[in-house]
Amino acid sequence: MQEALERLLKTAWARSSEWRSAAHPAWIEADAEASQPFPEAFCALLGEVNGLEAPDGAFRIFGVGPELPRYLRAGERNRRDGWMRHYGTLREGLFFFAEDAFGNQLAYELEGTGCVHFDGETGLRTPLAEGPFGWLEPVMDDPSRWLQLGSFEGYMEAGGDLGSGEMIAYKQALCLGGAPLFDNMVPRRIEVGLCLYGQIAQALAELPDGTPIDGIEWLAGSQTPGQP
């Protein structure tokens, strides 16, 4: 899996002229889905790759333009009323540009030049690198840590499936005592998984350890609780 990811990223960068043509400046300036200007770091990334997804869904880089599926559009993913709105202030000051199969995000800091890993369940930030491309080295050196590839591999080898626009969610979140086992994993639409995780993350950030959590709302129009 690590070798496959490395080949994927190297292939994307080797085809930079093709990706560069896809990221035409017009899309950067006129992305109707974006509620804020794209940061310089993301514009630099667009100069090399405009939307990229591993064939098995283990890793995604967002892009711009109507040719991309909705879940890969950076404007949609970063709108203030978009998919990450459920994280509230936990998401402030970040621009999300990539994610792993479990909903964990990579984000550029809007103030400064840093890149962070954003835990999908808790909203915790871990400094990762500096600059538009600095994240590549740590991610490729340790994809099991930064992209959860070990857990992803185990899920797929156990017969799990991941469709287009889906993420792997834990039925009982790890931060609430769930186990990283196949029986606790279920594919969900990305916006549904992030809706639930965002509410949990906000609750955890505001309450003392051991406090029961309630009031979690299921995203309208999505699967009902208990269903994948």
Q: What is the pLDDT of residues 198-217, one digit of tens each?
A: 998 988 887 666 666 555 55
**How does pLDDT run across 145-185, given as a tens digit for each residue?**
999 989 999 999 999 999 989 999 999 889 888 999 999 99
The answer as to whether 213 is a domain residue is no
Beta carbons of 83 and 198 less than 8 angstroms apart: no
> Looking at the domain assignment, is residue 220 inside a domain?
no
Is it the case that residue 99 has pLDDT exceeding 80?
yes
Half-sphere exposure in the Cβ direction for 59 (13 Å, CA): 23
What's the whole-model pTM score?
Answer: 0.81
| String of DSSP letters for 141-193 | H-HHHHS-HHHHHHHHHTT----TTEEEEESS-GGGT--SSGGGEEEEEHHHH
Residue given tokens 């889906």 in the structure block: 166
User: What average pLDDT does this structure show over 65-85?
Assistant: 86
Q: Higher model confidence: residue 15 or residue 1?
A: 1
Residue 224 lies in a domain: no
| Residue 116 domain-assigned (yes or no) | yes
pLDDT tens column, 36-69: 678 899 988 888 788 888 878 889 999 988 888 8
Range of the domain at 105: 1-206
Query: Would 227 be classed as within a structural domain?
Result: no
Number of structural domains the chain divides into: 1
Task: Give the DSSP H/E element, type plus range, for residue 96.
Answer: strand 94-100
Whether 160 is covered by a domain: the verdict is yes
CA separation, residue 173 to residues 187, 192, 205 (Å): 13, 14, 15
